[in-house]
Structure 1
Amino acid sequence: MQIAYRARDLAEAHIVAGLLQSRGIECHVGGHYLQGAMGEIGAAGFTNVHVEDEDYAQARTLVAEYESAAPLDIPSDQVEDRANRYATWFLLFLAVLMVILIGAL
């Protein structure tokens, strides 16, 4: 077996493994127990996706496509606006709840 992908963490390794398995490539995610040695914080570099030697070339092609995929471009001002809107509604809800609770006393 060869390492087709070196993942940053366990979740990413399983995402890539799922991608490969969906294309008919049998694979194995290794390093589950090595991450536990670092506690709750995920340690990078311990999880790898292994494939059979004959599937390595096709797996690397799929991994290259995965790595070159562009991330979603969400403008940061939209993210901040959404967070501010949620915070405003949450604070309003807490204020109404406090008025109701104080009125019930």
Structure 2
Amino acid sequence: MLQIAYRARDITEAHIVAGLLEANGIEAFVGGHYLQGAMGEIGAAGFSNVHVADEDLYQARQLVIEYEASGGSIASRVADEDNDRPDRYARWFLLALVIVGLVLIQIY
């Protein structure tokens, strides 16, 4: 099973972190490619995650912490068990989608 090792700001950052992990012998997968286009031409934030196998999760998170400490990014977005829930942007997007759907149902 795959676990989220890192929540990236965008797809580019996710691929950078995945490359770092793969360079250190950890097979990493980037998720969220198709969700990026759901927000239109602007860069959608919070939809890209880096996934690793269960047995590589601890080592992957340690490498990400070292990467961030060296200036890789400003804020830590390492996923942990307490914070392993959908991003707030995704919730707002889904709420807006439901509202638009309800309005369209009322019109037609």
TM-score over 0.5 (shorter chain):
yes
Matches within 5 A, 1:1-105: 1-70=2-71
Separation in 2, partners of 1:70, 1:24: 22
Larger displacement relative to structure 2 (34-43 or 10-19): 34-43
Which has the larger Rg? 1
Identity %, equivalent residues: 75
Q: What is the identity, as a one-letter code, of the residue corresponding to 1:64?
A: I
Query: Residue 70 of structure 1: CA displacement?
Result: 3.0
Instruction: Give per-residue Cα distances to partners, 1:49-101, cap 9 Å, x unaligned.
Output: 00000000000000001111137xxxxxxxxxxxxxxxxxxxxxxxxxxxxxx
- Unaligned ranges ≥5, structure 2: 73-108
Separation in 1, partners of 2:26, 2:71: 24
What's the TM-score once normalised by structure 1's chain length?
0.65
Structure 1 segments of 4 or more deviating over 2 A? none
Q: What secondary structure is seen at the aligned counterpart in 2 of 1:50? A: strand
Q: What secondary structure is seen at the aligned counterpart in 2 of 1:49? A: strand
- Unaligned ranges ≥5, structure 1: 72-105
Alignment coverage as a number of residue pairs: 71
Q: What secondary structure is seen at the aligned counterpart in 1 of 2:14? A: helix
Separation in 2, partners of 1:11, 1:63: 15
Separation in 2, partners of 1:26, 1:41: 29
Query: Residue 18 of structure 1: CA displacement?
Result: 0.2
Separation in 1, partners of 2:17, 2:71: 16
What's the TM-score once normalised by structure 2's chain length?
0.64
